[in-house]
Structure 1
Amino acid sequence: MRHKLTLLLIIGTFFAMNGQMKKWTLEECVTYAVDNNLSIEQFELDLENVKIDESDALGNLLPNLNANASASKNVGFTIVSTSNAPVAGNQSTFNSNGGFNSNVTLFNGLRNIKQMQRAKLNAISSQYRLDDLKDDIRLNVANAYLQVLSNKEALKVSRAQYEVTEQDLNRINELVESGVSPRGDLLEIEATAANQQQQVVNGESLVLISRVNLAQLLQITDYENFDIADESFDVPPSDILDNSAKVIFDKALTFRNDIKFSQSNVDLASKDLEIAKGAYLPTLTGFFNYGTRYSDATGPLPDGAGGTFTPGFIDQLWIFDGISYGAQLNVPIFNGWNTRNNVRRSKISLKRAELQFEQDKLALESTVQQAYVDVNTFEKAYEAALKTLEARRLAYDYAKERFDVGLMNSFDFSQAQARVDNAEASAIRTKYDYIFRLKILEFYFGIPISLN
């Protein structure tokens, strides 16, 4: 019995420890999202395929080597392979052939070399595309994380305000019961309490929804046991605004993966044009063949002395083996304008890639300019919200003093409290809006996402 109780205690302790909810930090969320995102895994598979293409391109520069063998049975008229003499009669013979052959492209307009160069460029381009996807995921996770923080902080404020209103409600209820205050004051406070209780319920829903959204970005399905660290963040110090938008844009051009990916597409299109032009040039191919044969057909002796003979298997392999080698030159003269049209298509693709590159740079400049303006705008909005909140709190304290001594009715007091609630919500919202815009601008300057 004692052993059973010990076992139950151990099992209970294990489940209690494992039942503790993990609290995720922003850095942990970003790292987990990058390591486990399905789109990233698909892009990584694409990158592996591209690296295989690079191996294929290298293999095209090397000579091939193939072996061949055949065997056949012949019944009827036969040519004796040892003497090339016909044998009359219904003779059954066995014949076999075997050999090796190798081919190598000596020159094809340098297309094989340029194909290998293109494969390397494509691998670099795929890596930039993968890194750009990771950047987007980091920004999305940071935004979702800050949204959870904002909703949690707003929920804390709503609960605190509701608790204060409940205390006022209990006090006013006593005053109404004692006949000091009119019943209308009680009804007004009850309405305020009900409204704040609804705000608490709505806040809890917003926290839950934002947690689910963040969990989905991380591709975590256990929503009930997923939560972020319960921390309250102030606006982090940053000197990013010491730089102009032009300086931030110039810095972004040097390291942004979307720009590098766009530039790599230009390089790929340029290499494709070189490969297409290579088809105008002749192709020179070298070849080498080795072969031998065996036959069990019997025939007259080659010196006419009469009788028949058949050399052995090994002897025939040595007697009838031979090699051939040489080179073949193909000069393109006319192929229905196929080469010319491929070159024209490649030129169009190159021009399209160059235009897309310029468009991507303009888009990045516009994004950086917008991010810069947003930081200034939301900073001022946050400062204004703090000033408004401070003024609303002073007004509320004054209203509460007047309400407590009966110089203000419950309706006006409720209005003062509602204005404080709205100011609190606005301050929280603008704070996290400002933090996120600040982190975006820092991200374009090459500063990793962190709330420290």
Structure 2
Amino acid sequence: MIKNDYLDYKTGLHRLKFFIYSLLLVIGYWLLAATSYSETLNLEQCIEIALKENPKIKIAEQKIISAKAKKTEAFSGYLPNISGNFSYLKKSEVEGADSLAGLTSASPSFKISFSDEIYDSKLSLTQPVFMWGKIYHSNKQSKLNYKYYEEDYKKIKQDTIFSVKEAFYKVILAKQMVSIAKEAFEVNTYHLKSVEKFYQEGKVSSYDVSRAKVLVANSKTNLIRSENGFDLAKQSLINVLNIKNNDIEFLGELIYMLTEQDLNNLVEKALNNRPEIKQMLLQKQISESLVKLIAAGNKPNIVVIGSAEWQNTELEKKNWYNTWSAAAVLNIPIFDGLSTYYKTKQAKSNLEQVILSKELLEEGIKLEVRSAYFSYKQAKGSIEANKENVSAAKENYFTAQKRFDLGLMSNLEVRDAQLDLTQAETNYAQALYDYNLAIALIERAIGMEAK
């Protein structure tokens, strides 16, 4: 019997362990699935991840939550302050207690004052009635401060999106540079074989062979450098996304989508939409409200106070002695040592600084928009100039190589054609990168709303 019970106990224990291990595996798999990402990511997916994982955005979200709580807290200044307390007093000696013994019609308050035990319960209320705008401006500042952090959140989102686009475009550019370098290496390797063949036939000199080998070595070095640059660009993007997975392939291409941009329209959009401008306008309103709040520091205020009190000599008694009082208090500050005057002067100076800072910010934003616009125009012109150049350079190289194979063109001319092709492809890829980056710069410069 004991043996069977022991076996049942062992079986149950094994089942419990199996259940716990299974549960841990399921939880671990769920956590891994929740934090891992696909092995291939495009630009839109990268932006989505960055907006979710970026610590700066999380901090900005918490600032909004804090500002919202502060806004609710400030409204409490309009509401009454109610407090209650209960006390018990025990006296070691009661003066006049003997004279009280002969009194039968003494008032409850008189009896309580000569009692050796007193139970006291009190409820107090304080209600601001007129504070010369102190509560109003305190509320106004908290509301403006909440809006300020909302704009700060928008700015951080826009900056994050731009950082992702910039890093993503660098990855795509680096990937194209690897392809160009690989193509150049293969072309030079093929050309070296042709030169070595002609050397064996006595058609070219050893110098031509040596030059062809140098080109292969240089192109190999450039390929290694390009591959390292590609790995570095990928790691930079992974850091921007704030993820741990390094085995990710980024899919996309640098496209040329013709768009027309008007400088004056861009400047106008920037001045209307940039979160920094809106923040500065809010900061100006906050500073104006602060001037009025500080100036009210030496102004009269009215407060209503009231209290109700219950006393008894025994806790169990039902009939407690009750008193109440109410008062309206007018407080008139007479002299505060000029403290309010100088605090107000400081606040007005800070307000003037905000106004001047806003003007500087507007000029800086205008310059930023112009810089992005001219980068866009330059990249656009470079694309149009280099697009046909790549096709021509490819045709020239293949023609030169065929003529060289037929002995109709020198080794030097083939090398020049190959260098022209590599340079044309590099310039075109760089122009595409500059164009896409310029569009991203314009979107950030005009404060385009993050979707």
Q: TM-score, normalised by structure 1?
A: 0.83
1:266 maps onto 2:284 in alignment = yes
Sort the Cα spacing of 1:168 and 1:289 in 2 relative to 1 into closer, same or farther, 3 A.
Answer: same
Specify the alignment match of 1:238 in structure 2: 259
Residues 85 and 268 from structure 1, CA distance in 2 versus in 1: closer, same or farther, beyond 3 angstroms?
A: closer
Name the CA distance, whole Å, in 2 between partners of 1:449 and 1:124. Answer: 17
Q: Decide which moves more: 392-401 or 114-123.
A: 392-401
The residue number in structure 2 matching 1:11 is none
Distance 1:196 1:282, change over 3 A: same
| Corresponding letter in the other structure for 1:276 | I
The 2-side partners of 1:294 and 1:86 are apart by: 7
Structure-1 residue corresponding to 2:317: 314
**Who is 2:265 aligned against?**
247
Q: Determine whether 1:57 maps to 2:74.
A: yes
Q: Is the 8 A contact 2:158 2:450 kept in 1?
A: no
The correspondence of residues 29-178 of structure 1 with structure 2, limited to 5 A, is: 29-78=46-95, 82=108, 84=110, 93-177=116-200
Partners of 2:173 and 2:182 lie apart in 1 by 14
Shift of 1:419: 2.9
Residue 301 of structure 2, aligned match among 261, 267, 283: 283
Higher strand residue share: 1
Farther-moved stretch of structure 1 (328-337 vs 419-428): 419-428
Q: Does 1:22 align with 2:44?
A: no
**Alignment partner of 1:32: what SS?**
helix
Structure 2: distance between partners of 1:449 and 1:210: 24
User: CA separation in 2, counterparts of 1:379 and 1:70?
Assistant: 83
Aligned CA distance change for structure 1 residues 445 and 412 (closer, same or farther; 3 Å): same
- Give the C-alpha shift of residue 178 in structure 1: 5.1
1-side partners of 2:46 and 2:370: how far apart?
A: 28
Task: Spell out, residue by residue over 1:293-317, the C-alpha distance to the aligned partner (whole angstroms, 9 max, x if none).
Answer: 2225xxxxxxxxxxxxxxx843451
Q: Using the alignment, how far apart are the partners of 1:437 and 1:84 within structure 2?
A: 88
Point out the structure with the larger helix share: 2
Deviates more, 1:320-329 or 1:372-381: 372-381
In structure 2, the gaps of 5 or more residues are 1-28, 98-106
1: CA distance, partners of 2:357 / 2:363: 10
Q: Is the CA contact (8 Å cut-off) linking 1:443 and 1:449 kept in structure 2?
A: no
- Cα deviation for residue 125 of structure 1 reads 0.8
Match of 1:217 among 214, 236, 240: 240
2:287 maps to amino acid: A
Corresponding residue for residue 380 of structure 2: 379
Secondary structure of 1:321's aligned partner: strand
After superposition, the C-alpha distances for 1:159-203 in whole angstroms (9 at most, x for unaligned) are: 122223333333444444455544433332222122111111111
Matches for 1:426-441 after TM superposition, within 5 Å: 426-441=427-442
Rate the CA distance shift 1:333–1:295 in 2: closer, same or farther, 3 A.
same
Contact 1:79 1:85 in 2 (8 A): no
Select which of 202, 205, 209 maps to 1:186: 209
210 and 365 in structure 1: CA distance in 2 versus 1, 3 angstrom threshold: same
Q: Distance in 1 between matches of 2:450 and 2:259?
A: 12
Shift of 1:69: 1.0
Verify the 8 A CA contact 2:130 2:303 in the aligned structure 1: yes
What's the CA shift for 1:82? 4.4
What is the root-mean-square deviation in Å for CA atoms of aligned residues?
2.8
> Are the counterparts in 1 of residues 50 and 242 from structure 2 also a CA contact under 8 Å?
yes
Deviation at residue 274 of structure 1 after TM alignment: 1.8
How many residue pairs get matched? 409
Alpha-carbon shift at residue 145 of structure 1 (Å): 0.8
Distance in 1, matches of 2:173 and 2:407, equals 37
Deviation at 1:264, TM superposition (A): 0.9
Corresponding residue number in structure 2 for 1:228: 250
- Work out the percentage of aligned pairs sharing the same amino acid: 20
Q: Indicate the residue corresponding to 2:18 in structure 1.
A: none
Say which is worse superposed, 155-164 or 392-401, in terms of deviation: 392-401
Q: In the TM superposition, what is the alpha-carbon distance from 1:208 to its structure 2 partner? A: 0.8
Matched-pair contact (CA < 8 Å) for 1:78–1:87 = no
Structure 1 residue 204: Cα displacement: 0.8
In structure 1, the gaps of 5 or more residues are 1-13, 297-311
List per-residue Cα deviations over 1:5-36 (Å, max 9, x = no partner): xxxxxxxxx9xxx9996221111112221222
Classify 1:423/1:383 alpha carbon distance in 2 versus 1 (closer, same or farther; 3 Å).
same
Give secondary structure in 2 for the equivalent of 1:154: helix
* Structure 2 residue corresponding to 1:199, chosen from 222, 226, 229: 222
Q: 1:161 to 1:20 in 2, by over 3 A?
A: farther
1:78 CA displacement: 4.3
